[in-house]
Amino acid sequence: MERTRISEVLPYLPQEVRERVEKAALGDWLDVEEIRLRANAPLTLGVWGESCFLTPSGGITNHENDAYRVTQEAVQSAFAAICENSVYARLDEIRQGFLTLKGGHRVGICGKAAAEEGKIKTFREVSSLNFRIAHEVIGIADGIMDSIVQGSRVYNTIIISPPQTGKTTLLRDVTRQISNRGFKTGVADDRGELGAMYRGVPQNDLGAQTDIIDNAPKAEAILMLLRTMSPKVIISDEISCQKDAQAIALAHGTGVAVVATTHGSDIDEVRNRNILKPLFADKVFEKAILLRRDFSTLDSVTYTKAVDL
């Protein structure tokens, strides 16, 4: 069952923007993934991995000249709303470039940054906001769970897909199902996309026996989970650097199962990537799940395939 909760995002939008999004996005035919507000630029929706503009009447267009343009005042109003009128209270999140809303929705932030010692301290001026609508699909992993879990064993698994094909959504449900099968599960959620913590409470269902470290460097979170929570399984979204790979190798070496994701089009491409080569050379991963999303169909079907490594 999919929980697509665009109505939870609408109250954060200025009225003139909200009215147009409501007209365009609330029909069953439209699966909205993103709402982008850019100052003095067209109001944009992300749908099935593609972008389209909204007209002043709430219609859909691909022509910039026909699009409704968002004002700078509207961007500032939306920013104040997502900060609940207290930028200071949410500075730690803002420094990461995004805020998490109740319900698991995330808002990416761009603009003129104020930096200190080479790190972003805050944003002096906000020029664009990207509302990413949470899509939690309970049961989407049903077809592959028998490949990942057999009896009392969880296989070390890597999920491979191009961007925007649903691998985080799939990993979220894999986590939930592993946890609910009785395995203590630790999640290194550096981008906050799996659990979507809001004031200490996960907004997404990651299972009954899951512990989450949110908004921390992935490698450090993995090591902390190993030291403190005695997990049977470690979950990591997106292996992106050598430290991540080394932490996963360490987890594997302690006998903890690992399920992780990475961008890629096929196994050979991923296997030959410098960061991942040592993991494949040491046969850390036993299974690969390949995702493909068919954007040529109206309902944007996602296909999965399990492969033994």
Query: What pLDDT is recorded for position 96?
Result: 78
- Please list the pLDDT of the chain residue by residue as tens digits (309 residues): 344 478 889 999 999 999 999 888 655 445 788 999 999 999 999 887 788 999 999 888 999 999 999 999 999 999 999 998 777 777 777 787 888 888 778 899 999 988 887 777 778 889 999 999 887 889 989 999 999 999 999 999 999 998 777 788 899 999 999 999 999 999 999 888 898 887 788 888 999 999 999 888 999 999 999 999 999 999 999 898 999 999 999 999 999 999 999 999 889 999 999 999 999 999 999 999 998 766 554 444 466 788 888
pTM of the model: 0.77
Query: What pLDDT is recorded for position 93?
Result: 77
Alpha-carbon distance values, 121 to 25, 39, 155, 215 (Å): 35, 22, 41, 16
Could you tell me the sign of the dihedral formed by the alpha carbons of 87, 195, 213, 262, in that order? negative
Give the DSSP H or E segment for 241: none
Domains of the chain (ranges; CATH) run 2-132 (3.30.450), 138-308 (3.40.50.300)
Give every CB contact of residue 97 below 8 A, 6+ residues apart in sequence.
108, 109, 110, 120
**Chain centre to alpha carbon of residue 121:** 23
Give the DSSP H or E segment for 94: helix 91-95
Q: Return the number of other C-beta atoms located less than 10 Å from residue 199's C-beta.
A: 7
